[in-house]
Structure 1
Amino acid sequence: MKALRWHGKKDIRCDNHLPDPTIEDGRDAIVKVSSCAICGSDLHLYDGFMPGMKHGDIMGHEFMGEVMEVGKDNKKLKVGDRVVVPFTIVCGDCDQCRKGNFSVCERSNRNKSVADKVFGHSTAGLYGYTHLTGGYAGGQAEYVRVPYADVGPVVIPDGLSDEQVLFLGDILPTGWQAAAQCEIEPSDTVVVWGAGPVGQFCVRSAVLMGARQVVCIDNVPERLSMAQAGGAIPINFDEESVIERLQELTKGKGPEKCIDAVGMEAHASRSLDSMYDRVKQAAMMETDRPHVLREMIYVCRPGGILSIPGVYGGLLDKIPFGAAMNKGLTFRMGQTHVNRWTDDLLERIQEGQIDPSFVITHTVSLEQGPEMYKIFREKQDGCIKVVLKP
């Protein structure tokens, strides 16, 4: 088969003649990929900011396709089923899975001992996302082995296109969970930092949940236009002061709910902030650029909630924790508990409440994937979301 593989920082290649995956456990399934996508989290691997990647690792954690083979113990799926595969690999049996905390499944991480040392306790296994999360082959490939396939995959009914349902595996439930964590009330102002794909779904989720006003912050005009079309008030941080504009929109009170849809590679609206984080990151004195977190803590209304779907990988510097403590802010964060939300979101797609395909700007072959990583990374050609067709 062919697949996109990591060969080092900013070196993604479409390699051919790789061995097809095979059933390794009775609960497995083999899926022939019909559509997959490049996620913003993949760029953290592309840029070399996430530890634990190895030469030849298959990329990608947003994918769907047709079930070609099932293990002997898999009673959920049958050959020919069309499925979306959540990026979190879940066993369904451990304490955390039974509580619905699927992204911290206690059994699916094959490298649990290593992750325990790094994080204190391991989290769930993830497709195509470093050996700290199990070293599983990803979905930017022609075929994928899906472990615990009697739990995770979402069977898709007839009548829905790949483009409508593909993002059920990651960015749609990620945006939805980010908004749900905010406990949105009708009087709330919800501010989303980042108008990338996850930010777009945060905006639309907050609107569906009934926020009084939703604001989205970015500096890419195409992204801001898309967020505005979804119901957000746009702020371009290159053109105006974020703090002053939010003060104006909230009559000096500050937003009640703030969402960081950016994560470790945040850009600063002030050049000194950006320079500070980039120098510290280059010198390995911090691993992530936390400008968005600092700004959220500063602007959030006392008693408010900070929701953090943006991915962080290591150590942060100069976080104003005293302000957060004294303002009584609540932090909610984590990888997405995808299967907690998929039934509801699939029903909303079927009912026409949301059509996730709006976020797609580029659809190309798998062979064009390496080029699209660069275009997506540099935000060229109006690129917001890339779908690949193996």
Structure 2
Amino acid sequence: MSLDNESFELLLSSVQRFIRERLVPAENILEETDEVPADIVEDMKSIGLFGLTVPEEFGGIGLSVSQEVQVNFELGRTAAAFRSVFGTNIGIGSQGILMDGTPDQKREYLPKVASGELIMSFALTEPDAGSDAAALKTRAERDGDHYVLNGTKRFITNAPRAGAFTLMARTGGPGAAGVSSFIVPASLPGIKLGKTDKKMGQRGTKTCDVILENVRVPAANIIGGVPGEGFKTAMKVLDRGRLNISAVSCGMAQRILDEATAYARDRKQFGKAIGEFQLIQAMLADSQAELLAGWSLVQEVAKRFDAKPAHLSDPDVSMRVSCAKLFCTEMLGRVADRGVQVHGGAGYINEYPVERFYRDARLLRLYEGTTQIQQIIIGRELMRRD
């Protein structure tokens, strides 16, 4: 599944122009109001951003992973909340259905996802099951042709906007084998939302707890129709999501480097532009080298991702995805820190974009698997090999 090269280049050019002309000028409004303007959301729908990864047969654009990471690199160059509005639709919220859903599930949900009529959210994390996701406690008890769900999900991106959740719950015994993945409409009785989280950064993104109290979900809403496969689905979804977070990290790093370089050209000290001082150049050079290394890694892993069957896991590809997530998100943290340092005291003032990006960047080392989880995945795969 991919777009032909000519069509993709036109799409990428349109996205770049949209970011430059519509999103970057709205960054300050977003920061002040903690909301993505409604007219921008409608424009996102009209240019197809909600359906980037949904196949054309369901009304989407059908990008390959290699194409998707290029778009996400560009989206990383502006405030994170803009991508967040549709990010779960093209990523973790819908990919479970796309990879493992039944034909009926795909026909029912994917066209609404692609149009933006339906926002889907991914609900795996719990108060006592973050990095140890297989220890989740949300229960799904069979009752005739329904399951009754009880539990709490935490830090769920887009939950306040969601029309449905891809939600993992325990239908069997302990461990990963007892987990199933459900499509849970947000309108079902018994679903409550906690207060919206107040976060360090990424203003305009919406996360909160999702509380389930005796929520009756049709058994037909188990993704793929087979209980006990939910954890496998979640891990496949997270692989693709982590690679795209890596791409976003590179895009954010590029914007920070651009801002720092421009400031170094314009800011005068000791009678000359600070960019003429070698210690400033050293910080810019380190950021450029790390950024190019990270972006090359993302593109190489994306090609391997596209080469494997979309519905199957590949331990080697998963390990390489974790390498990208580990390197690129940590790289972004270093680039963000240098960006503030190049700005000096001005970098600590919120009228400069690097201040916001410094706060926004911190989350990328945490969500969809912390740096330490990526290290564990990489280490285990290396030790497994002969």
- Pairwise TM-score range, normalised by the shorter structure: under 0.3
Larger CA Rg, structure 1 vs 2 = 2
Scaled by the length of structure 2, what TM-score is found? 0.24
Scaled by the length of structure 1, what TM-score is found? 0.24
